[in-house]
Amino acid sequence: MPEGMIIQLIYKVIMTYFVVIFVTNLFSRKAKLPDQIMYAVILIPFALRILSIR
Amino acid sequence: MTRLKFSWIFFEDARFRAVILLVISSIIGIVSAADFLEMHKPDLIYPGPGVTSVGRLSDWAPDLAGTPGDTDIYYLKGSQPGARYLVLGGTHNDEMATPVAAITLIENAVVTHGELIVIPRANASGATYTQEMVGTPYFIELETPGGTRRFRTGSRYLNAVDQFPDPDVFTNVSGASYPGPESRNLNRVHPGRNEGHLIEQVSHAMIGFIHEYEVDILLDLHEAVPEHYVVNCMVGHDRAMELVALTLMGLQMQGLDINMYQSPSVYGFSHRGIGDNTDAMVVLAETTNIIQGSFRGKPTQELLHTGKDPFYDILASSGKIFVDYDSQRGISLSERVGRHMSTVMELSRSYAYFVPDNAIVIENVPELADLMENGIEYYLQPNEG
C-alpha cells in the first residue's frame, strides 16, 4: 500500500472515531440540549471530511 | 393535551432530541456534500475541428492511471509535418484565464503544419476544490450564444485530500524552501520524481511525455497578482530567450504592454525544471488577475469576469502595483484570455521564423483584438442545453 494511502486511511479512522464519539454523546441520556446542538453541528464537517478522502 | 405531551417529550427526552438533531445535521451534510462533490465533475469541453485525438497523461506514465493526478491531453495534428507545441493551462487552476484559453484553443484551433498539444488542466486535482479561507467562487459561468458554459475555478495547489499531510516547510529538489502547501504546487516541483509525492509524479510524467513525444516548444500559461513584478510578462529558459525576445517584439507591435525575464537557476519552476531536463524550449506567460490579489474586495463571479475592483485604484494611484490599472475599465477575462491567445500565436510565428523547416502553423485562433471585440463567450462552443 503506498505511503499516501496509509496516511489517508489512518486519517479516515481517526475522523470516524470522532464521529462515533460525537454520535454517542449526542445520544447520551444525560446530554443537555445545548451540548446536543453542538455535537450535531460539529458532526457535519467531520462527516464531510471523511467523504472527501479517497 | 396531545400538543403539551409532544413538547414535553421533545424537551425532556434526550434521545428523541438526538434523533431530531441528527436528521437536521444529516440534511445539512448531504446538501453541502452535493455542492462540494460537484467540483469533482470534469469541465465539459467540445473538441473543435482541429482535434485529431484525445489521450491521457497516464498513456505516457502508467503509474498515474486511476490517480487524481491523471489528466486529459488534446492533440491537434496538422496534415503537414512540423514542430510539436505543447500548451499547458490550469497549472494553477485559480488563474482562470489559463484553462479558459486552453479550452478556447481546443475548440477553435486548426493546425496545418506540425502539431499543437493542449493540456487544459495540468494540475487536474487542483480543479476539484477552491483554496480554503479565500472565498473564491466555485465556478465561473459564461453566457455563450448557445447557452451557459460553466468552468471550475479551482486552486493553485493539488487538492489536499489527494496529498496529505503538508510539511511545515517544503524544500524542493533545488534546495529552495517554501511554506508547506507549496509542496502541492506543480510549478514548484519540476522536474519532479517518479517515487515522490503525487504532484512530483505528475511533474515527472509530464517531463517523460515531453521528452518521449519530442515536444519542441512548451508554453505554460499563468496569471499573477498585480502587486507582484512577474506580471504581464514572459519568462523563458536560457535556450528560449531569443524566441521570447522575438515574440515580445511581435506582441509589443500588437500594442500589448509586456515584459520578459530569463529563468532563474532554481528548479521547481517549469521554465527551469522542464527546460533543463528536456529538449523543449520552455516559456511561461503571465497576465494580471485582480481576484487573486490580496487587496481585492469581495471575490465574486463578477470580479472574476470584469476585474473591476475600486480597491486597486488606491494601489494604482500610489504606484504600488506593476500594471496600469483603472477600475472603470478593469482587466476582463476576455482581455486576459486574449493576451494568452496572442502569446500562443506569436510564439508559433516566432518559432517559424527561427526554424522555418520545422514550423508550426496554427489557424482559426482568436487573438486579443478579436476577444476584446467579441468577448470570450463568442469563441466557446455552444452548450448542449
The larger pLDDT score, comparing residue B148 to residue A51, is at: B148
Mean pLDDT of A10-24: 90
Kindly report which listed range (B4-8, B91-95, B297-301, B341-345) carries the lowest average pLDDT score.
B4-8
Share of chain B above pLDDT 70, in %: 96
Residue pair B339/B368 in contact by the 8 Å Cβ criterion: yes
According to the per-residue pLDDT averaged within each range, which of B130-144, B155-169, B243-257 is highest? Answer: B243-257
Secondary structure of residue B128 in the 3-state scheme: helix
Of A26, A33, A51, the CB nearest to B33: A51
Q: Cell 511545515 sits at which residue? A: B168
Q: Cell 451540548 sits at which residue? A: A35
Q: pLDDT tens for residues A36-54? A: 999 999 999 888 888 776 5
Beta-carbon contacts below 8 Å between A and B: 60
C-alpha to C-alpha distances, B224 to B132, B284, B295, B324, nearest whole angstrom? 19, 12, 13, 14
Residue B382 has pLDDT above 80, yes or no: no
**Angstroms from A1 CA to nearest CA on chain B:** 14
Q: Which residue of A has its CA nearest to B39?
A: A52
**Angstroms from A45 CA to nearest CA on chain B:** 8
Secondary structure of residue B299 in the 3-state scheme: coil
Q: Which residues pair with B262 in a beta bridge?
A: B236
Please check whether residue B18 touches A, CB under 8 A.
yes
**Angstroms from A7 CA to nearest CA on chain B:** 7
DSSP class of B255: T
Is the bond preceding residue B165 a cis peptide, omega within 30 degrees?
yes
Of A41, A43, A54, the CB nearest to B161: A54
Can you tell me the ipTM of this complex?
Answer: 0.83
Q: Which residue of A has its CA nearest to B34?
A: A48
Query: Using a CB-CB distance cutoff of 8 angstroms, which residues of chain B are in contact with residue A26?
Result: 18, 21-22
Kindly report which listed range (A15-24, B27-36, B124-133) carries the lowest average pLDDT score.
B27-36
Residue B385 has pLDDT above 50, yes or no: no
Kindly report which listed range (B30-34, B114-118, B371-375) carries the lowest average pLDDT score.
B30-34
